[in-house]
Structure 1
Amino acid sequence: MAQLFEVHPDNPQPRFLRQCAQMLQAGGIGAVPTDSSYAFVCHLNDKAAAEALRRVRGVDEKHHLTLLCRDLSELATYAMVDNRQYRLLKLATPGAYTFILPATKEVPRRLSHPSRRTIGLRVPEHRVIQDLLAQFGEPLLSTTLIPPGDSEPLNDAAEVCERLDRQLQFVLDAGACPAQPTTVLDLSQGDEPVLVRQGRGDLAALGLQLG
C-alpha cells in the first residue's frame, strides 16, 4: 500500500523527502511530480526495482527509461556528448525535455536500449523532485506515469494512489502538475536532433524547427 506524502510545492518538507529516499534505497518505486506530469522513479542500480518499474508502466526492455539528474555535471557521467550537443543541453536544462544519448559504461547495460546502447536523460525543473534527488544523492531511474492501457499521463496524486496503490511504495503529492509529457529529442542519430515526441518542452525555445 502506497504511503502518501503531502509536501509544499515550493518548500517541500525535508523529513518527508528523506523517508522517500530511504524507500528508494530499499528498492521501492515511487510516484513523483515533475515539470511535465508525474513520473515513476526507482533506484538506478537496483535490478529488481527496475524490472518492477517496467511492469508497473507496462513496457519492455526496448522502451527507453530516463535518468533524472540534478544538473548537467551529473548527466555527463552517464552520457557521451560533444560540444554542440552540450550547448543544446545547457540551453534546455532544467526543463521539460528528455534527450536520448549514447550511454557511458556507468549505465548498466540492462537499462540502455538493447540494440542501440542509448539512454534517456533529463534535468527536471521542479523543486520537489530536485530536492528529492539531492536527498537521494544520485540520479533516479524514471519513466512517465502512464498506466498500462492509458494514452495520457496522470497528474493528480489522489488518482495515482487510487489506481496504483498496491504497486507503489509512496506517492509525493505537491499538487497537480502539467498533464503533458516531456519533449523527447534523439541526439544519438547524427549531427541533427531527431524529434521523437512533441511534449511540453518548446522547440522554438531551443532554436529548433523539427518535423
Structure 2
Amino acid sequence: MLVSINTENPQQRLIQQMIDILEDGGVIIYPTDTVYGIGCDITNKNAVERVAKLRGLDPSKAMFSFICQDISQVTEYSKTINNDVFRVMKHNLPGPFTFILNSNNKTPKILKNRKETIGVRIIDNNIVDALVRGLGRPILTASLKTGDDISEYYTDPQDIYDAYGKRVDAVIDGGIGGTMPSTVIICTGDEPELYREGAGELK
C-alpha cells in the first residue's frame, strides 16, 4: 500500500497503522532527512533477512544501520560512549549523520558485523521520529537505491511504490526525497573520524 503521511504533523492513525505492520514483522519504506529508506523492527530476524534480500545483500555481511529515538536509546545498544563522541553526537543529532559505534550484547546478532560495530542514526524527520517512538525500539534502515550505482537513489514515492509496492508491506509518501546519503562518522576509537562525507555539515 502507498500511504501519504503529513511530514509536519503526522496523522496518528496512519502512524499506528505503520507501527502495527512493523510489530507484525513487516517491511516498510519511509522518508528520512536524507534519502528514502527501507527497514523493519530490528528484533525481527526474518524481517531483517527480508530487507537484506530486497537490497540484494547477504545478511551475515551487510552493514545495516538502525534508527533510534534519542541518544539514550543509542546507549542501550552500544558500549560506553566517551565524552568526545558524546559531544559530537549531541551537537549534530537529530540530523543526517550515521555514527559507527562498538556494539554491546543487546544488539541483535544479525545486525553485528565481524568488527562488532553498529551504525546508528537519529533522524530529523517527524514521520520516522513518530514511528520509532511509537514502536518503542529502533528501526533498521537501509538506503533505497535505484540500482548498482551507489550514487542513484529513489526520490519520488510513486516511483518507489511502482518498483517495490508488491514486495513490501507499505510505502510511506512523505514527499520528494533527497539524493545525498548521510555523513558517516566512525566512533570506535578515541576520537570521531570522518568515513564518508554526505549530507550535513558536522559541528
TM-score by length of 1: 0.90
Letter in 1 for 2:38: F
Task: Give CA-to-partner distance per residue, 1:17-58, whole Å, 9 cap, x none.
Answer: 111111111111100001001111101111110001111112
Q: What is the deviation of 1:8?
A: 1.0
Determine if the alignment matches structure 1 residue 23 to structure 2 residue 47.
no
Q: CA deviation at 1:82?
A: 1.3
CA distance in 2 between counterparts of 1:139 and 1:191 reads: 26
Aligned counterpart, 1:51: 49
Matches within 5 A, 1:1-211: 3-60=1-58, 61-80=60-79, 81-113=81-113, 115-151=114-150, 152-188=152-188, 190-203=189-202, 206=203
How far apart, in 2, do the equivalents of 1:159 and 1:145 lie?
A: 12
CA RMSD, Structure 1 to Structure 2 (Å): 1.3
Shift of 1:149: 2.4
Offset, 1:83: 1.5
The AA in structure 2 aligned to 1:15 is: R
Structure 2 alignment gaps of length 5 or more: none
CA displacement at 1:147 relative to structure 2? 4.2
Between the aligned partners of 1:105 and 1:78, the Cα distance in structure 2 is 7
Q: How far does the alpha carbon of each residue in 1:170-196 deviate from its partner, in whole angstroms, 9 at most, with x for none?
A: 0111111222110011111x2233322
User: TM-score by structure 2 length?
Assistant: 0.94
Percent identity between matched residues is 31
* Per-residue deviation, 1:70: 0.8
After TM superposition, give the deviation of residue 95 of structure 1 in Å.
0.2
The number of residues matched between the two structures is: 200
Amino acid at match of 1:58: G
Deviation at 1:137, TM superposition (A): 1.5
Taking the aligned partners of 2:181 and 2:164, their CA distance within structure 1 comes to 19
Read off the aligned partner of 2:144 and give its amino acid letter. Answer: L
- What's the secondary structure of 2:7's corresponding residue? coil
What letter is aligned with 1:136?
L
Moved over 3 A (4+): none
Higher mean C-alpha deviation, range 89-98 or range 132-141: 132-141
SS at match of 1:166: coil
**2:2 aligns to what SS in structure 1?**
strand
2:56 and 2:196 mapped to 1: Cα distance?
19
